[in-house]
Amino acid sequence: MFESVVRSPYRGLLVIAFLLVVSIPFQKRVEGMRGKFRVVEESLYFSSASLKRLSLGYEELLADIYWLRAIQYFGGRSVEERDPELLYHYFDIITDLDPKFVNAYRYGGTFLAEPPPLGLGDIERGIKLFDKGRKNNPENFRLPLEEAFIYYLYVKDYKRAAELFKEASEKPGLSEFRRASLRGMAASSLSKGGSRELARRIWEEIYRTTTIEGRKEFALRNLKELDAMDMEDLLTQALRRYIGIYGHGPSALSELKRKGLVKEIPKEPFGRGFVIVYKLDKVRSKTLLEQELKYNTAYLSGASRRFKRSFGRYPRDLEELKDFIRENGWDFPEHPLGKEYSYNPETGTVGE
Amino acid sequence: MKTILAVAYNTFVEAKRDRVLYSLLLFAFLMILSSLIFASISAEQYNKIVKDLGLTAISLIGIVISVFLGTGLVHKEIDKKTVYNIFSKPVRRYEFVVGKYLGLSFTLLVNTVAMGFILFLIVLYTELRHGDFIRFYYGGNYFMEFFKAIYFEYLEFLIVIGIALVFSSFTTPIMSLLFTFFLFVIGRFSGDILIFAEGVKNRVLRGLLEVIYRVVPHLEKFDVRREAVYGGSINPELILYTTAYAVIYASVLVFLSIIIFEKREFR
């Protein structure tokens, strides 16, 4: 029997295929117990000095291999699984092996610094990577430009952002139009820190230049949010003029148009429409309103948990939570509908 | 069965005569012993240095022996024409291949036990001298994990011998050495194939990569050296499944060698 099997290659190969299939459940079980990616994770902790020696002079190639592995490894993980320290270490290695690999600084720095869900929200490490990139690539304008975006949008350090915009504008090889545009960004950042107009130009630049689909969508969403804010301002102004004239608010937004206070009720960029917040005499985009409410309640519930860590219990009521927040020098976000938040003292949860 | 054991015994005796084997073993012992010197200048990380260096030495030397002796296993018999002698006796080809595999596996077992024993004595010495530091930094010396790590290394050798045997049954020692080395490297980084596959959008390509991943040996799964230093769960279930995988995979390789060897013509 055995001999007849091994003497016929076809039967033999069938047996081999069968054995390999039998081995799969065992492979999967071992993977389940030990994880699929152990070797990759371990290789992340090599030092760049030892990798340089290992590369036998093919450092750029090794940097490319590491780059591919980093993209595959981090691209396929959820936000909770992505470790900023590990990611920084990885990009640090890549850029040690190939200091001219500008995209590694850009991708790594931005991914580290941008807030979740797109990035990891580790601004310090993101900036560190950009600084290293600027030092190693003094002629590249993209690195200071994108670092300036981070300072402007997330750190809100407009002076430092202006310095970086200026640095980018001084790099060689730029067209006159781009140079002028960068100088304009530097000036705006310095004089009108936090301006919506400059934020829009930044997001437009990100949208235009990024090749990463997720980031493009993120930039587009931010641009839409800025548009929605402009529309809110326009409609709020009209609403207040209406109240000034008639002494009370309109029953619906369309009345603003009917009374000639606005030419058109603009279409909300996310397609959700606007609502009148009578208590605050404001018009709000439904999308932005819900987003703000969600953010505020999450933030306040977090503060309540911090209270418990300090005092061993949740705040008795919202007033105690407010005092705790203010005592710590933080801001208490007001309810965007002008009312009080609901609060459950047993679970410490703040609701709408 | 008797014939297989006779071939296995002869392979073991022959390996014992090989001077290369002894020089490699000597090198391993020196490497293990030198870990004591490195440990003494390691800022109190005695057991880590001793175990890391010692287990790496056992693995490296075991792999080198498996590859070098394995790739010459069949070819040497053909080259020296002793294969005619063997097949003039009532020895079937598959018995010859299985015997060769078992003989080398046993040689490796003896070597691994010898190297492991020397390393164990050194680990024991560090425990007796620096037990307090070891418990302070690492929480213990994890002797069981240490033995399990050596056992897992031996399972890896079994697969590498099989790979070498496959190539040895149809090509020259130099070529089989190269092929074995390449497959060994692929096996050590097989996880990358899966990572790559998971990132590929094309379903056909992804499927193909997953098949490749399932077929290549997963040698990185035999590395539990970290647990030998830091502790960790190498539970009986993991040992069972990893052993089963190693045995099945080694059987595939031996079976493939037999098929190739059956078709081979000797002139």
Which among A3, A30, A37 has the least Cβ separation from residue B238?
Answer: A30
Size of interface A-B (CB pairs under 8 A): 90
pLDDT digits (tens, 9 = 90+) for B217-253: 999 888 888 788 777 778 899 999 999 999 999 999 9
Range B170-177, long-range pairs (CB < 8 A, 24+ positions): B170/B260, B170/B264, B171/B75, B172/B75, B173/B71, B173/B72, B173/B75, B173/B76, B176/B71, B176/B75, B177/B67, B177/B68, B177/B71
Give yes or no for a contact between A279 and A338, defined as CB atoms under 8 angstroms apart.
Answer: yes
CATH topology of domain A40-217: 1.25.40
Q: Which residues of A touch B198 (CB under 8 A)?
A: 72, 76
Q: Say yes or no: B198 contacts chain A, CB-CB below 8 A.
A: yes
Residue A351: enclosing H or E segment and its boundaries? strand A349-351
Residue from B187, B210, B255, B183 nearest A24 by CA: B210
Which among B218, B223, B252 has the least Cβ separation from residue A19?
Answer: B252
Q: Which residues of A touch B1 (CB under 8 A)?
A: none
Q: Which residues of B touch A10 (CB under 8 A)?
A: none
Q: How far is A123 from chain B (nearest CA, A)?
A: 27
Q: Say yes or no: B234 contacts chain A, CB-CB below 8 A.
A: no
pLDDT at A43 over 60: no
**How far apart are the C-alpha atoms of A238 and A131, rounded to whole Å?**
46
Type of residue at B204: V
**How far apart are the C-alpha atoms of B104 and B10, rounded to whole Å?**
10
Residue A75: which pLDDT band, with cuts at 50, 70 and 90?
Answer: low
**How far apart are the C-alpha atoms of A227 and A230, rounded to whole Å?**
5
How high is the pLDDT of residue B249?
94
**How far apart are the C-alpha atoms of B178 and B176, rounded to whole Å?**
5
Residue from A194, A183, A188 nearest A154 by CA: A194
Contact A9 B259 (CB under 8 A): yes
Phi, psi dihedrals of residue A350, rounded to the nearest 5°: -100, 130
pLDDT at A193 over 70: no
Q: Which residues of A touch B255 (CB under 8 A)?
A: 6, 12, 15-16, 19
Residue B115: enclosing H or E segment and its boundaries? helix B93-138
Q: Which residues of B touch A3 (CB under 8 A)?
A: 92, 94
How high is the pLDDT of residue A76?
60
| Owner of token pair 């590929």 | B200
Q: Which residues of B touch A26 (CB under 8 A)?
A: 241-242, 244-245, 248
Contact B94 A6 (CB under 8 A): yes
Residue ranges of chain B with per-residue pLDDT less than 50: none
Residue from B51, A137, A133 nearest A147 by CA: A133
**ipTM value for the complex:** 0.70
Q: How far is A10 from chain B (nearest CA, A)?
A: 10
How high is the pLDDT of residue B43?
60
How high is the pLDDT of residue B40?
67
Contact A40 B199 (CB under 8 A): no
pLDDT digits (tens, 9 = 90+) for A161-182: 889 988 998 898 888 878 878 8
Please count the CA atoms within 13 angstroms of the CA of A262 that sit on its side-chain side: 21
Q: Say yes or no: B21 contacts chain A, CB-CB below 8 A.
A: no
Residue A36: which pLDDT band, with cuts at 50, 70 and 90?
Answer: low
Q: How far is B7 from chain A (nearest CA, A)?
A: 18
Tokens of A68: 């591919």
Type of residue at B148: K
Q: How far is B187 from chain A (nearest CA, A)?
A: 11
Q: Which residues of A touch B92 (CB under 8 A)?
A: 3
How high is the pLDDT of residue A172?
87
Which among B192, B198, B256 has the least Cβ separation from residue A76?
Answer: B198
Query: Which residue of chain A is at minimal alpha-carbon distance from B242?
Result: A30
Q: Taking the CA atoms of chain A, what radius of gyration do you get in angstroms?
A: 28
How high is the pLDDT of residue B239?
93
Residue A145: which pLDDT band, with cuts at 50, 70 and 90?
Answer: very high
How high is the pLDDT of residue A40?
47
Query: What's the length of chain A?
Result: 352
Write down the pTM of the prediction: 0.56
How high is the pLDDT of residue A49?
67
The DSSP 8-state label assigned to residue A153 in this structure reads I
Q: How far is B149 from chain A (nearest CA, A)?
A: 14
Phi, psi dihedrals of residue A283, rounded to the nearest 5°: -110, 130
Query: Which residue of chain B is at minimal alpha-carbon distance from A68?
Result: B196
Q: Which residues of B touch A20 (CB under 8 A)?
A: 214-215, 252
Q: Say yes or no: B264 contacts chain A, CB-CB below 8 A.
A: no
Contact A26 B221 (CB under 8 A): no
Which among A20, A24, A72 has the least Cβ separation from residue B199?
Answer: A72
pLDDT digits (tens, 9 = 90+) for A278-334: 888 889 999 888 888 887 888 788 888 888 878 888 898 888 888 888 887 777 888
Residue A18: enclosing H or E segment and its boundaries? helix A9-34
Query: Which residue of chain A is at minimal alpha-carbon distance from B263?
Result: A7
- Residue A266, preceding bond cis, omega within 30 degrees? no
The DSSP 8-state label assigned to residue A271 in this structure reads S
pLDDT at A39 over 50: no
Residue A239: enclosing H or E segment and its boundaries? helix A213-246
Better-scored residue on pLDDT, A109 or A156: A109
User: Vertex B135, ends B133 and B141: CA angle to 5°?
Assistant: 110
How high is the pLDDT of residue B157?
95
Residue A283: enclosing H or E segment and its boundaries? strand A282-285
Contact A19 B238 (CB under 8 A): no
How high is the pLDDT of residue B154?
95
| Owner of token pair 């005569």 | B17
Residue A54: which pLDDT band, with cuts at 50, 70 and 90?
Answer: low
Query: Which residue of chain A is at minimal alpha-carbon distance from B255?
Result: A16
pLDDT at A336 over 50: yes
User: Vertex A300, ends A342 and A222: CA angle to 5°?
Assistant: 110
Contact A30 B221 (CB under 8 A): yes
Q: Say yes or no: B189 contacts chain A, CB-CB below 8 A.
A: yes
Q: How far is B214 from chain A (nearest CA, A)?
A: 7
**How far apart are the C-alpha atoms of B206 and B226, rounded to whole Å?**
31
Contact A36 B245 (CB under 8 A): no
* Averaged pLDDT for residues A120-139: 91
Contact B245 A26 (CB under 8 A): yes
